[in-house]
Amino acid sequence: MSWSKLKQQLEGFLCPALQGRVEYRATGYRYLPDKAGLCYIAVDKKNVLNMSDATTLVKWYQTELEIKNDPDFHVPVSHEEIEAARIETKGKVPEDRLRVIARSRKISEYAKELLSAQSSLSKSNFVVVATKFLSISIEESLESPDILLNILALIDRRVGKKRILNMNEKMRLKHPIVQYFYELRRSTL
């Protein structure tokens, strides 16, 4: 599928409040037809999603430790996870320490997921992921570990106000760029 056709289809699915604000852009190489060029998403004429751009507004994590030490990264811990930590420690650890242990384990899990999703985004071809987005359901895109699929689904008109508002807890566990687009979409409600 040509870039202009793909761009037209993607922009056709944008929610009405974001039309004109969110743009899909691509650079091409006239004399290198086999070279794909760069694709990125711009919001209000600023490049927001471009892994190779150092001036991006969003924090890209380099290590698991950065994620663990990020004060903006909140991970809710369930009672079941605390109980699992209690069983593993055979009940010899104080209650407040169990919460810390469970939270630390969960953050490590999410940190690994975030880093793998982020690294796959840097290697992915925007056109391939966008074409996949057009062929799968919105639910699959929202639940996918792929950052780009999450973003495309969040700014899609088929995701309603109620669903956006109910995603608040789930979005806290996503990559900062996904959170950025979630907040952008919430601001239009």
Last residue of one domain, picked from the residues 92, 115, 138: 115
Same domain, 41 and 134: yes
- Please tell me the distance from the alpha carbon of residue 110 to that of residue 94, in angstroms, as a whole number: 25
pLDDT digits (tens, 9 = 90+) for 125-156: 777 888 899 999 999 999 988 888 999 999 99
Same domain, 135 and 181: yes
At residue 26, the pLDDT reads 73
Residue 35 has pLDDT above 70, yes or no: no
DSSP class of 152: H
Same domain, 141 and 177: yes
Same domain, 84 and 173: no
Query: For residue 99, what are the domain limits?
Result: 64-115
Same domain, 110 and 136: no
| Between 38 and 29, residue with greater pLDDT | 38
Find the mean pLDDT for residues 34-62.
66
Same domain, 52 and 71: no
Same domain, 128 and 166: yes
Question: Following CA atoms 47, 110, 143, 54 in sequence, which dihedral angle do they give, to the nearest 10 degrees?
Answer: 10
Same domain, 51 and 69: no
- Which residue bears the tokens 């944008």? 14
Same domain, 71 and 40: no
- Please tell me the distance from the alpha carbon of residue 54 to that of residue 67, in angstroms, as a whole number: 19
- Cα–chain center distance at 161: 19
- Mean pLDDT of the residues in the chain: 81
178 C-beta neighbours (distance < 10 Å), count: 23
Same domain, 131 and 182: yes
- Which residue bears the tokens 């039309």? 19
Banded pLDDT at 18 (limits 50, 70, 90): very high
- Cα–chain center distance at 84: 29
40 forms bridges with which residues in the sheet?
25
- How many domains does the chain fold into? 2
Same domain, 40 and 70: no
Banded pLDDT at 53 (limits 50, 70, 90): very low
- Please tell me the distance from the alpha carbon of residue 129 to that of residue 148, in angstroms, as a whole number: 7
Residue 36 has pLDDT above 70, yes or no: no
43 forms bridges with which residues in the sheet?
22, 46
DSSP class of 156: B
At residue 130, the pLDDT reads 87
Same domain, 15 and 90: no
pLDDT digits (tens, 9 = 90+) for 77-116: 888 988 888 888 888 888 888 888 888 888 888 778 777 7
Q: Quote the percentage of the chain above a pLDDT of 90.
A: 28
